[in-house]
Amino acid sequence: MIYNSLILSIVTFIYGLAGVIYLFAWIFRKEGAAKLATWVAVIALVGNTAGIVLRWIESYQLGSETGHAPFSNMYESLVFFAWTIAVLFLLVEKRYNNRTIGAMAAPLACLALAYASFSPDKSIQPLIPALKSNWLIAHVITCFLGYAAFAVAFAVSLLYLVKSKDEKSESNAKLHIPPLSILDELTHRLVMFGFLFLTAGIITGAVWAKQAWTRYWSWDPKETWSLITWFIYAAMLHLRMMRGWRGNRIAVLSIIGFLAVLFTYFGVNFWLSGLHSYGALSQ
């Protein structure tokens, strides 16, 4: 029963290795190293996938009462978060034929799994009553696709600020980063993608809440901060489309939005109690 945790522990270091190689390739402009980094990231993603699937299978081997999709606590959600980040940044890398994004995004996947590894109990536990619902998978998948898109947008926004500062520099050693216009457009598209899935996550969560607690919305801290995060990204999209905001201001808003995501994900579980306190299980 420990194989999934062992695989995921190894995958943590592989994501970290991919991030180091991405950084090396970016700084020293080594195309061969960049290709190697992509393959290392793909290997990490395959291992990440295997860990999730194996944990899912092992839960059912423990019995029908224990079997469930591996999304029920902080440890399992962090594993899935790392997976979604890796999938999205590799797709973006392929779409734009540029591996620089991996230098910022791969370390995020590594950090997610590294944090998950601190969990003192990685054993598979039966679901508590509130989580026994078919809405669990829909809610978690939609939310974390949104979170992952915001995470990759955060990475792209960091690159934008670095590129913007680099272009203003008088140094001749310019960094090999995609043009500002591409980074700005990519941030916008990722935020739109994430916003749609965050919206779907809030809706599925409301339906699930109705089923579990007889009401769609209770102003639970997790619900409240999800709504705050939603408004931050809604304001960002509005300012871009209606006011024509571009560049540094949008990049900064993207970073602020991701900080709100992190607080919604981690801060609420640790510092605010509510109906979602089960999210802190198995930490």
List pLDDT tens digits, range 27-81: 898 899 999 999 999 999 999 999 999 999 998 888 767 788 898 888 999 999 9
- Indicate the helix (H) or strand (E) that contains 69: none
CA distance 32 to 14: 18
pLDDT score, position 276: 54
**259 pLDDT higher than 70:** yes
Nearest in space to 45 (alpha carbons), one of 85, 73, 105 = 85
Report whether 125 contacts 66 (CB < 8 A): yes
| Cα separation values, 51 from 113, 211, 278, Å | 11, 30, 22
Does the pLDDT of residue 252 top 60, yes or no?
yes
Rounded to 5 degrees, what angle do the CA atoms 71, 74, 78 make? 75
| Long-range Cβ contact pairs of 84-87 (< 8 A, separation 24 or more) | 84/144, 84/145, 84/147, 84/148, 85/109, 85/112, 85/148, 85/151, 85/152, 86/15, 86/41, 86/44, 86/45, 86/48, 87/45, 87/148
pTM recorded for the entire structure = 0.91
136 near 240, Cβ under 8 Å?
A: no
Q: DSSP state, 128?
A: P
User: In sequence order, what are the residues at sequence separation of 6 or more whose Cβ sits closer than 8 angstroms to the Cβ of residue 174?
Assistant: 166, 167
- Encode 252-279 in three state secondary structure: HHHHHHHHHHHHHHHHHHHHCCCCCHHH
Domain assignments of the chain as residue spans, ordered by start: 1-127, 129-283
> 């705050």: which residue's tokens?
228
Predicted confidence at residue 272, as pLDDT, reads 62
Angle between helices 248-262 and 135-168 (to 10 degrees): 140
pLDDT on residue 111 = 97
- Can you count the helices (H) and strands (E) in the chain? 9, 0
pLDDT, tens digit, 9 for 90 and up, residues 11-26: 999 999 999 999 999 9
132-148 residue pLDDT tens: 788 888 999 999 999 99
pLDDT tens-place string over residues 69-128: 898 888 999 999 999 999 999 999 999 988 999 999 999 999 999 999 988 778 888 887
pLDDT at 273: 58
**Which pLDDT belongs to residue 255?**
97
- pLDDT confidence of residue 281: 38
For residue 170, the model assigns a pLDDT of 52
Q: What count of other Cβ atoms lies within 10 Å of the Cβ of residue 273?
A: 12
pLDDT > 70 fraction of the chain, expressed in percent and rounded: 92
pLDDT of residue 283: 31
pLDDT of residue 94: 94
User: Is residue 4 predicted with pLDDT exceeding 80?
Assistant: yes
* Banded pLDDT at 277 (limits 50, 70, 90): low
Q: In angstroms, what is the C-alpha Rg of the chain? A: 19
Structure tokens belonging to residue 215: 């009401």
Q: How many CB atoms lie within 10 A of CB 215?
A: 9
d(CA 198, CA 141): 10
Checking if the pLDDT of 205 tops 60, the result is yes
In this prediction, residue 25 carries a pLDDT of 93
Residue 140, CA atoms < 13 Å, CB-side half-sphere:
23
How far, in Å, CA of 20 to CA of 255, rounded?
A: 22
